[in-house]
Amino acid sequence: MLMELSKTHMVASTSLFLVYIKVITLSCFSLQGLNLLGLAIASPVIRGNGTDQQALLQFEAKITGDQLRIMEPWNSSFHFCQWRGVTGGRNHQRVTKLELQSLKLSGSLSPFIGNLSFLREPLVKPGSLKPFQQQFKREHPTFLGELVIPEDTWFVHKWIKWKCGTIPYALGQLKNLLQFTFLENSISGIIPVAMFNLSNIEVFDIGYNKIQGRNQISGKITISISNASNLYELQIGGNRLTGNVPSLEKLDKLVILHVGINHLGYGREEGIGNLINLEILWASINQISGPIPFEIGRLQKLKIFSAHSNFLYGAIPSSVGNLTVLIGLNLDGNNLKGNIPSRLGVLDVSQNRLSGLLPNNLGSCTSLVKLLLNDNWFEGPIPASLSSLRGLEALDVYDHNLSCVIPELLVIFGALKYLNLSFNDFEWVIPS
């Protein structure tokens, strides 16, 4: 009896051992099987979502230049959430963030990036607008000078340099995408309509390229842009966009709007008054015609308004005087006329058809650094109220019918570094 029990126990043990071996053998091909036995250990074998891994590998395959060898560890030896520049979610092994800025990468953009359905770029708020200021000074070296842009203004830096390529349509599938930044690259083609169907997107920036010229994005601004109601930054300047600007009335969260240096025509003025959070409006060097909409006076947070080198006409609306935090106004190279509104910061309205007397309330613009009024039709004396502009460094009133006694003028503006009084009716009195 004991021998039979022992034999039975041995057979059962052997059977269990064989089953155990079988489970372990199968588990070599199934990590989940190992976990069932509690035998899983740390391993370089890839775990997590295979779709994300393949998307990243396809992304890496399109990178033709990697001077810093950033992507050498992008292989199956490590989990993809441990690859440099890749961040996974806390509760899942899906890619939520790609950080590849300033890594000297070049190549084209793989459409497989559209499979990273959990990709989400957090909000970016650098401490200042210095890159924006440098760009402004690069285009207008005599305008801003050393003017300091307020520290609470937002600007987003470039993300990655692309040697060539188009914006893949598949990017429109990234429903969680918050930021799309290809500033200063050389992408081409059109903006996919689906990009603006991303209702969560907050930053869309495809601006200038310092290395190979401007981006070559062409076509029209799609009307689907109104679907991107969470946008706070839209920078599409320095491209080849054409047509009229569609209605932006639903984009009431916009802080920065840059559509300059394109071939855009006039837009729908009734929508601009809804951009109540706008701080920077840059529409210079386009083909925009018509009057400046009166509704612009509703943009109480506007700090910089640049629309030079267009076909604007009519009077500068008096509502511009309501923009009490405006520090920069550049409207030169248009066909504007009428009076200059007061309460401005930096003022450049040169090369227009503005006429009449210089307003006395210009003296209330105590933060003025540069006052550029050249090539207009002003007449009469320079107001004595301008004596309050102690920080004025540049004054250009070339080619007017202005009059005053020059020595008194020079005493008033003791901080002047640049002064152009040519072709006026000024008097020169030799001091005693």
List the one residue out of 337, 347, 277, 339 whose CA is nearest residue 306.
347
* 68 assigned to some structural domain: no
The span from the CA of 409 to the CA of 10, in Å, is 113
**The 256-258 sheet, strands edge to edge:** 179-181, 203-205, 233-235, 256-258, 280-282, 304-306, 328-330, 346-348, 370-372, 394-396, 418-420
**The 289-290 sheet, strands edge to edge:** 289-290, 311-315, 335-338, 353-357, 377-381, 401-403
Amino acid at 206: I
- The per-residue pLDDT for range 112-151, each reduced to its tens digit, is 777 787 876 532 233 333 444 444 444 434 333 333 333 3
Which residues of the chain have a pLDDT value below 50? 1-48, 122-164, 209-213
Check residue 256 and give its pLDDT.
92
Check residue 208 and give its pLDDT.
56
Check residue 37 and give its pLDDT.
33
* 171 assigned to some structural domain: no
List the one residue out of 344, 358, 338, 249 whose CA is nearest residue 305.
344
Cβ distance 283 to 306 under 8 Å?
yes
Other beta carbons less than 10 A from residue 7's beta carbon: 10
* 394 assigned to some structural domain: no
Check residue 275 and give its pLDDT.
92
Q: What DSSP letter does each residue of 116-168 carry, written as one string?
A: -TT--PPP---S--HHHHHHHHHH-TTTSTTPPPPTT----------SS-B--
Check residue 357 and give its pLDDT.
85
The span from the CA of 234 to the CA of 251, in Å, is 10
* 149 assigned to some structural domain: no
The span from the CA of 104 to the CA of 100, in Å, is 9
* 16 assigned to some structural domain: yes
Number of domains the chain is built from: 1
* 15 assigned to some structural domain: yes
**Domain of 14?**
2-37
* 384 assigned to some structural domain: no
The span from the CA of 180 to the CA of 178, in Å, is 7
* 30 assigned to some structural domain: yes
